[in-house]
Amino acid sequence: MSSEPTAPAAPAFPVPADAELLRRVAQGDIDSLGQLYDRHARTLFSLARHILNDRAEAEDVVHEVFLALQASAESYDEARGSVFTWAAALTRNRAIDRVRRRRRRGDLLAQAAPADLGYAEPRGDSADPFRCGEVAVAVRQAIGQLPLEQRRALELAYFGGRTQQEIAAELATPLGTIKARIRRGLLTLRSIMEVRP
């Protein structure tokens, strides 16, 4: 009896973590920057577009963010948070800066931070199976579990770029209550998501 020859096991190529990719970017490896782009650009673009409600500006923001990651790659400290957390913060901050510049130019407020912050159903430009994957589902479920008042305060803070006072005024709620809602909402979200640094 002879056994059919079996092909040797394919070598396992470990997928580098984001932090390793960024370390390589710091050493001039553009391909690693491309890999980071492939992993996170869609989510970052979705975030920017959600805040700005403008494709072109959202793409400009994503472009700026990846160049900022490249420029500051050497100073990245993993102890302070993941690469994605850092990139998302850069994206949010740049998008909100653009929204505020629009407001100063007297543009219509309706172009940014729409009242419906769109957690009902995804309505993106293209159906992307990756974005409907586990992480997105988990996040939506987690957000759905938050009490409405906590969710609203978090949305206005994170996507709307409002100050504490603006959130309190918009929700006609005392400032202390808003602070408490943000605290409880974010702590609850952390617990539900079981976020790891």
Partner 1 sequence: MIDERHEENAALYALDLLEGDERVSFERSLAAEPELRALVRDLRAAAAALAHGTPAAAPSPFLRERVLASARTRQPAPARRQPMFAWAAAAGLALTTGLAGWQALRLHRELGNARTLAAQLQAENQQRAQELAAARDRQQQGDAALGLAQAELEKLRTTLRDDQAQSAQIIAALRSQANVAELKIQSLASLVGNTPQARAIAVWNPLTQQGVLTVANLPALEANKDYQLWLLEPQGTAPIDGGVFRVDATTGEARVTFKPSRAVRSVDKFAVSLERKGGAPTREGPVVLLGQ
Binding to partner 1, residues 138-177 (CB under 8 A): 138-140, 142-143, 154, 157-159, 163-164
The answer to whether 26 contacts partner 1 (rule: CB under 8 A) is no
DSSP 97-159: HHHHHHHHTT--GGGSS-SS---SS---SS--TTTTSHHHHHHHHHHHHS-HHHHHHHHHHHT
The answer to whether 104 contacts partner 1 (rule: CB under 8 A) is yes
Nearer to partner 1, 14 or 106 (CB): 106
Nearer to partner 1, 4 or 97 (CB): 97
Nearer to partner 1, 4 or 121 (CB): 121
The answer to whether 131 contacts partner 1 (rule: CB under 8 A) is yes
The answer to whether 23 contacts partner 1 (rule: CB under 8 A) is no
Nearer to partner 1, 142 or 171 (CB): 142
Site track 44-63 with partner 1 (rule: CB under 8 A), x = hit: xxxx-xx----x--xx--xx
Both tokens of 54, joined, read: 């403008």
> How many residues make contact with partner 1 (CB under 8 A)?
80
Q: How far is CA 47 from CA 20, 44, 91, 176, in A?
A: 24, 5, 7, 28
State phi, psi for 109 to the nearest 5 degrees.
-65, -25
The single residue among 23, 81, 111, 171 that binds partner 1, judged by CB under 8 A, is 81
The identity of residue 79, as a single letter, is A
The answer to whether 128 contacts partner 1 (rule: CB under 8 A) is yes
Nearer to partner 1, 3 or 153 (CB): 153
The answer to whether 2 contacts partner 1 (rule: CB under 8 A) is no
Both tokens of 10, joined, read: 């394919």
Q: Report how far Cα 194 is from the mean position of its chain's Cα atoms.
A: 16
Cα separation, 129 vs 114, in Å, equals 25
Nearer to partner 1, 70 or 173 (CB): 70
Both tokens of 132, joined, read: 């409907």
